Amino acid sequence: MKTWARGLAGLLLAAALQPAWSAVEDGYELWQRYRALPPVTQSEVLVRALSILPATPMTPTLQAAVAELKRGVAGLTGREPAVSAQLADGALLLATPASAPAGLNLPWAELGREGYLLRSVKLQGRAVTLIAANTDIGLLYGSFAWLRAAQTGADLGKLDLRSAPRLGLRLLNHWDNLDRTVERGYAGASIWDWWKLPDIRDARYVDYARANASLGINGTVLNNVNAKADSLTAPFLAKAAALADVFRPYGIRVYLSARFSAPVELGGLKTADPLDPAVRAWWKAKADEIYRRIPDFGGFLVKANSEGQPGPQDYGRNHADGANMLAEALTPHGGVVMWRAFVYAPDAGDRAKQGYAEFQPLDGRFAPNVMVQVKNGAIDFQPREPFHPLLGAMPKTPLALELQITKEYLGFSTHLVYLGPLFEEVLRTDTQRPSGVTVAGQLTAMAGVANIGTDRNWCGSHFDCANWYAFGRLAWNADLHASDLAREWVMQTFTAKPGAVDSIVSMMTASREAVVDYMTPLGLHHLMGTGHHHGPAPWVDNLERADWNPVYFHRAGRDGIGFDRSPRGSNATAQYAPGWAARLARPETTPEEWLLWFHHLPWDYRLASGRTLWAELVARYDRGVASVVDMRARWATLQADIDPVRHADVTAYLAVQEAEARWWRDACLAYFQSASGLPLPPGVRPPERSLNDYKALRFNFAPGRGG
């Protein structure tokens, strides 16, 4: 025991009262507030965290773990612990295989490189809480897990939790531009202050890393997929290297979005053809340069031949040719290429089919260090989409699932829309390739388009932070339930009072279905305003490309509504596994939530409710508005349970959400009534304004359009 103790570089927890937060709640601390627990629970935490015996050596990552435990215990109990190498009753022990006490047999192999184990054990007659892992990053993740357990009411004296991530890469994709605008960002400017970097490193970067590490997020793409070649120049690589230095102790690697035409724009070449030897040599030299500055650089994210971005098809090549060229440059350094499957071109027919058509035939032709990054649906982050047909259709290719945390089509940051149910919905879908295997079971990585900015509360509104939280937790373990994650988040963020927690969780879990109802019920999609994507505009029909117009997607007229993707129409259903294809081919077997995605149906088509399609559509819009009214009422009853500043903030946002939900409902019903020629069902409230009034609205400076 003495020999083992001397081998530790460790610390003992001595009591010292130290406030760990500001007097006014503003959301900055996210789910890491570490507020004082009730006295009984506080005593339990204090006993269980009396000492920390860290593993050796004391790396920067392990130092971060110890610092977080000290910060957390101080906040939860009012006493900041210190460290020593003596094992005491109530010790909180951090151990790796090299430092674990003799006789402590643990399932080390099952933990892998990043996993951890939390367990209450007896060592030498003393009650000890063990945080065990094979590596220092595992100990950091385990430390965050213990603090989460302490904040959410777990019995710390009976802990027995083993957890390891199923996916090796769990990343945020920042759509941040070099001028600090953020495409589809609604929380202020980019948190990366490129002008001041690399010399000035904002303390906020550390808090960003802490928050991500607490969820197990281990990568961040710093710049927009609509990339500028400048991000690969020496000055910007120095800035990226400075951020990498900050993030490294927290297990977070940096990645960059690469512009495919960079050899022309930066290298002076006449071509970016991926099969040209000079182009390949340029990318190899660029990769070598990057790794000299950032030895643990993660790799490239690429958007190519989509929405005007350059790519290999400009030279008659395919996506595999382009991706494999970059992979070749990164292979000696262990880097990866994440090649996005979000592609669509003018006059390509049904836009929902293009991604599958271009990528599925290339299955097995990508280099081993290439991942094809696929959005959850085939159009573009709609309130609800069927799962992308590529998911499960490329068994020989590593796939990354791309989810949008920022709410481009879901009310910006203004509307309370908890996306955990959306994430869970796609992850648990059985692709039937093969039967019984879910989307989650066929992934190599998950990427979330970040909603983070310079707003003090990080995400624009307090509840939007729950979407960042849910993404990270599900990327680590897709078997978690969205409702449970909402409960965790509420208890760490707002309050642990059971009644208040239940009420807030109920609001959150109902909110995604509410927004589907008041925006795009029954499988409608792409009804938003042009460019800024703010508010309803189902009438738009004059844009340059057919698939930029909402009328292209809903096709409402006297004969009915919906996009026919059945075998009688575009036959997009054929891109799914045979079981799904057969089910989706007929409206009576298609899930009603996807009905108008796959079928154009007459207004008098009968649904399961017994109502006609027109009456059901109206009822869904009304139900969505009613859900928001209920959310406002629930929140109002919680004034005594939530700090006044944040309660007032959310109250104001919910008022906006109700007004905009009514706007969506009224504008859409006014338009669809004009298209159908049908009267509103008896007793239904008519739209407040005329269709022409809604069409006349303009939003020239709406946020989130980027640079």
Q: pLDDT digit string (tens) for 598-641?
A: 999 999 999 999 999 999 999 999 999 999 999 999 999 999 99
pLDDT over 70 at 7, yes or no: no
Q: Is residue 247 within 8 Å of 254, Cβ to Cβ? A: yes
Q: pLDDT digit string (tens) for 583-592?
A: 999 999 999 9
- Average pLDDT for 10-18: 26
Q: What is the pTM of this model?
A: 0.95
Angle at 74 between CA 68 and CA 75, to 5 degrees: 90
- Average pLDDT for 220-229: 98
Q: Which one is predicted more confidently, 127 or 670?
A: 670
d(CA 12, CA 149): 22
Q: What positions carry a catalytic annotation?
A: 307, 380, 408
CATH for the 169-481 domain, from 3.40.50.300, 3.20.20.80, 1.10.3720.10, 3.90.1170.40: 3.20.20.80
Neighbour-count burial for 318-347, b at 16+ CB within 10 Å, e otherwise: bbbbbbbbbbbbbbebebbbbbbbbbbbee
pLDDT over 50 at 200, yes or no: yes
Per-domain boundaries in the chain: 2-163, 169-481, 518-563+600-696
d(CA 436, CA 421): 20
d(CA 69, CA 264): 50
SS3 51: strand
Query: How does strand 91-95 pair with strand 51-53?
Result: parallel
Q: How confident is the model at residue 90 (pLDDT cuts 50, 70, 90)?
A: confident
**Residues near 217 by Cβ (< 8 Å), separated by ≥ 6?**
170, 171, 172, 252, 472, 475
Q: Which pLDDT does position 86 carry in this prediction?
A: 72
Q: Which one is predicted more confidently, 56 or 510?
A: 510
Q: Which pLDDT does position 57 carry in this prediction?
A: 77
d(CA 698, CA 707): 20
- Classify domain 2-163 by CATH number: 3.30.379.10
Q: pLDDT digit string (tens) for 382-392?
A: 999 999 999 99
Q: pLDDT digit string (tens) for 93-142?
A: 899 998 888 778 899 999 999 999 999 998 888 888 999 999 999 999 99
Tell me the CB-side half-sphere exposure of residue 304, using CA atoms within 13 A. 31
Residue 429: phi and psi, rounded to 5, are: -70, 130
Q: Do domains 2-163 and 169-481 have the same CATH topology?
A: no
pLDDT over 90 at 59, yes or no: yes
Closest by CA to 492, choosing from 96, 72, 129, is 72
Q: How far is CA 474 from the centre of its chain?
A: 9
Q: How confident is the model at residue 707 (pLDDT cuts 50, 70, 90)?
A: low
pLDDT over 80 at 494, yes or no: yes
Q: Which pLDDT does position 14 carry in this prediction?
A: 24
d(CA 312, CA 318): 6
Q: pLDDT digit string (tens) for 526-560?
A: 999 999 999 999 999 999 889 999 999 999 999 99
Q: How confident is the model at residue 1 (pLDDT cuts 50, 70, 90)?
A: very low
Tokens of 454: 């310079």
Q: Which pLDDT does position 15 carry in this prediction?
A: 24
Q: Which pLDDT does position 4 carry in this prediction?
A: 28
Q: pLDDT digit string (tens) for 441-481?
A: 999 999 999 999 999 999 999 999 999 999 999 999 999 99
Min mean pLDDT across 15-29, 413-427, 676-690 is at 15-29
Q: How confident is the model at residue 27 (pLDDT cuts 50, 70, 90)?
A: very high
Q: Which pLDDT does position 123 carry in this prediction?
A: 85
- Mean of per-residue pLDDT scores for the chain: 93
Q: pLDDT digit string (tens) for 270-324?
A: 999 999 999 999 999 999 999 999 999 999 999 999 999 999 999 999 999 999 9
pLDDT over 90 at 44, yes or no: no
Q: pLDDT digit string (tens) for 399-428?
A: 999 999 999 999 999 999 999 999 999 999
- Average pLDDT for 215-220: 98
Q: Which pLDDT does position 21 carry in this prediction?
A: 32
Q: Which pLDDT does position 127 carry in this prediction?
A: 85
Q: How confident is the model at residue 48 (pLDDT cuts 50, 70, 90)?
A: low
Domain 518-563+600-696 has CATH 3.90.1330.10: yes
